[in-house]
């Protein structure tokens, strides 16, 4: 009856559901968004704790089952079920999101939520354990990656609960964790497109020094192309985005973060660098780039150790030198 492809793993342990509810800090006045309610085990307790629940479910059979479960109960007037793909539908207003999601949509969903306006108070979500550990990873942790940096730019993230696979029917192949995501209000004043452009380059080889990353020909030619385009257009690139551009940019932060296969790092260090042919063409621009790194003392640093503040500082130095990432 359960579709593996839709990530259908039903929560069977009522104590675990209680603990998720308790840790999520739902208020009686809250409109709750649930994604993938399935048969409604979590939905029922959400309805007991909040004012109303909007549940988005892809599988029409589950939608029917859910409606049947609450039909004729006092809950039915406080539950709205939307049938569809959560990644494709417009989300309604909500105060808090609590969900046991299908793991294959983890990163696009996270950034879809974070681009939603008005910003919600918090999201309490079950993720695959490794994805959860990447979300909360700090500089220096092995799992620190583009996902950690981009999520933590927009939200405070904390690990709430480890959940073994046997709490689900059928049990998934991996363990899980519940994570709390609280959007930062206000959001930091950065251009998210530029931010992601920089962070992608830095984490492409996160254990190399920035000096060697920014000496790569592919990186230099990309940046030089941007540089020349902007100069030619004589754009006053002040980096500000309107609301629509902002929402697009935020959801794009999750782009091609193929859940868990992202940030492949060969673990090798600087040895096998692209050969620097030292030809004079373009070396002026290269000096410009390397000067930026020197200014901020970044040449010998590695992305795996850089904090949010470091990345912001680095981006501002590049921008001041007229170098842009989008
Ligand atoms: N919340 C239930 C529970 O905890 O017992 C079920 C969770 S199950 C891991 C994920 C649910 O999400 C399934 O019911 C599945 O049909 C639904 N689903 C899968 N992909 C979806 C999508 N793109 N949009 C909305 N729901 C989806």
Element (DSSP H or E) covering residue 156: strand 155-163
Q: What is the pLDDT of residues 124-171, one digit of tens each?
A: 999 999 999 999 999 999 999 999 999 999 999 999 999 999 999 999
pLDDT band at 254 (very low <50, low <70, confident <90, very high): confident
User: Cβ(178) to ligand 1 under 6 A?
Assistant: no
Per-residue model confidence (pLDDT) at position 1: 65
Q: 106: CA distance to ligand 1 center in Å?
A: 12
Tell me, what's the pLDDT at 264? 43
Cβ–ligand 1 distance for 40 under 6 Å, the answer no
Nearest alpha carbon to residue 100 among 196, 5, 17: 17
Express as a percent the part of the chain with pLDDT over 70: 89
Average pLDDT for residues 254-268, to the nearest whole number? 51
The SS3 of residue 118 is coil
Report pLDDT for 317.
Answer: 96
Taking alpha carbons only, the member of 21, 18, 13 closest to residue 167 is 13
* C-alpha 21 – ligand 1 centre gap (Å): 18
For 49-108, write each residue's pLDDT tens digit.
999 999 999 999 999 999 999 999 999 999 999 999 999 999 999 999 999 999 999 999
Ligand 1 near 12 CB (within 6 A): no
> DSSP code of 134?
H
Residue 180: pLDDT over 50: yes
Exposed e or buried b per residue across 224-240, where buried means at least 16 C-beta atoms within 10 angstroms of its C-beta: bebbeeeeeeeeeeeee
- H-assigned helices in the chain: 14-24, 41-49, 60-70, 106-115, 129-136, 146-154, 192-204, 210-213, 217-233, 243-252, 283-295, 308-320
Dihedral of CA 67/73/79/80: which sign?
A: positive
11 CB less than 6 Å from ligand 1? Answer: yes
Distances (CA, A) of 7 to 3, 11, 113: 7, 12, 19
Asked whether 147 and 259 are in contact (CB, 8 A), the reply is: no
**Pocket of ligand 1 contains residue 10 by CB under 6 Å:** yes
pLDDT score for 212: 95
* Mean pLDDT (whole number) for 248-270: 58
pLDDT of residue 15: 97
Q: Which helix (H) or strand (E) holds 79?
A: strand 79-83
The helix/strand/coil state of 326 is coil
pLDDT, tens digit, 9 for 90 and up, residues 189-198: 899 999 999 9
- pLDDT at position 314 is 97
Q: Tell the residue nearest (CA) to atom 12 of ligand 1.
A: 36
**Per-residue confidence (pLDDT) for residue 46, from 0 to 100:** 98
Among residues of the chain, what percentage have pLDDT more than 90? 77
Ligand 1 mean position, distance from CA 185 (Å): 29
Residue 23 has pLDDT above 80, yes or no: yes
Question: What was the pLDDT predicted at 235?
Answer: 55
Find the largest Cα–Cα distance for the chain: 78
d(CA 101, ligand 1 centre) in Å: 5
Query: Rounded distance, CA 169 to CA 12, Å?
Result: 7
Q: Give the Cβ contact number of residue 291 at 10 Å.
A: 11
Q: Is the CB of 66 under 6 A from ligand 1?
A: no
Q: What is the DSSP string of 222-248?
A: HHHHHHHHHHHHT--------HHHHHH
The pick from 38, 126, 169 for probing ligand 1's pocket by mutation, whose C-beta has the most ligand atoms within 8 angstroms, reads 38
Give pTM, 2 decimals: 0.89
Q: Which atom of ligand 1 is nearest to the CA of 17?
A: 4
**In 3D, which of 150, 205, 207 has the Cα closest to residue 181?**
150
Predicted confidence (pLDDT) per residue in 267-323, tens digit: 444 444 444 444 555 589 999 999 999 999 999 999 999 999 999 999 999 999 999
Contact criterion met (CB below 8 Å) for 46 and 26: yes
Q: Is the CB of 62 under 6 A from ligand 1?
A: yes
Task: Give, using CA atoms, the residue closest to atom 23 of ligand 1.
Answer: 85
Instruction: Determine if ligand 1 sits within 6 Å of the CB of residue 274.
Output: no
- For ligand 1, atom 22, name the residue with the nearest CA: 85
CB of 36 sitting under 6 A from ligand 1 = yes
What strand order describes the sheet that includes 96-100? 79-83, 52-57, 31-35, 96-100, 122-128, 176-183, 155-163
Q: Which atom of ligand 1 is nearest to the CA of 105?
A: 23
pLDDT value at residue 3: 81
Q: Please tell me the residue having the least CA distance from ligand 1 atom 19.
A: 6
Report DSSP state, residue 72: T
Task: Indicate the top mutation candidate among 54, 59, 89, 102 to test ligand 1's pocket, ranked by most ligand atoms within 8 A of CB.
Answer: 102
């Amino acid at each position: 009856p359960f579709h593996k492809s839709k990530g259908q793993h039903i929560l069977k342990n009522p104590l675990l559901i209680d603990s998720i509810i308790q840790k999520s800090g739902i208020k009686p006045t809250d409109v709750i968004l649930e994604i993938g309610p399935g048969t409604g085990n979590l939905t029922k307790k959400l309805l007991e704790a909040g004012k109303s629940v909007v549940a988005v479910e892809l599988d029409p059979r589950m939608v029917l089952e859910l409606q049947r479960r609450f039909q004729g109960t006092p809950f039915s007037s406080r539950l709205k079920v939307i049938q569809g793909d959560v990644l494709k539908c417009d989300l309604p207003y909500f105060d808090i999101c609590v969900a046991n999601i299908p793991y294959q949509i983890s990163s696009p969903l996270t950034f879809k939520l974070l681009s939603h306006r008005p910003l919600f108070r918090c999201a309490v979500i079950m993720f695959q354990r490794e994805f959860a550990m990447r979300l909360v990873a700090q500089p220096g942790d092995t799992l620190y990656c583009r996902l950690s940096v981009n999520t933590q730019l927009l939200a405070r993230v904390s690990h709430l609960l480890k959940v073994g696979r046997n709490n689900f029917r059928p049990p998934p192949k991996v363990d899980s964790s519940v994570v709390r995501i609280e959007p930062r209000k206000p959001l930091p004043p950065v251009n998210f497109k530029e931010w992601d452009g920089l962070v992608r380059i830095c984490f492409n080889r996160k254990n190399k020094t920035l000096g060697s990353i920014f000496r790569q020909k592919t990186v230099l030619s990309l940046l030089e192309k941007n540089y020349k385009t902007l100069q030619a257009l004589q754009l006053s690139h002040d980096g500000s985005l309107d609301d629509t551009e902002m929402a697009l940019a935020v959801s794009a932060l999750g782009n091609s973060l193929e859940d868990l296969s992202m940030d492949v790092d060969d673990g090798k260090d600087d040895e096998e660098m692209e050969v620097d042919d030292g030809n004079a063409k373009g070396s002026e621009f290269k000096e410009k780039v390397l000067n930026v790194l020197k200014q901020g003392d970044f040449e010998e640093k590695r992305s795996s150790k850089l904090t949010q503040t470091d990345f912001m500082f680095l981006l501002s130095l590049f921008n001041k030198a007229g170098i842009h990432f989008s």
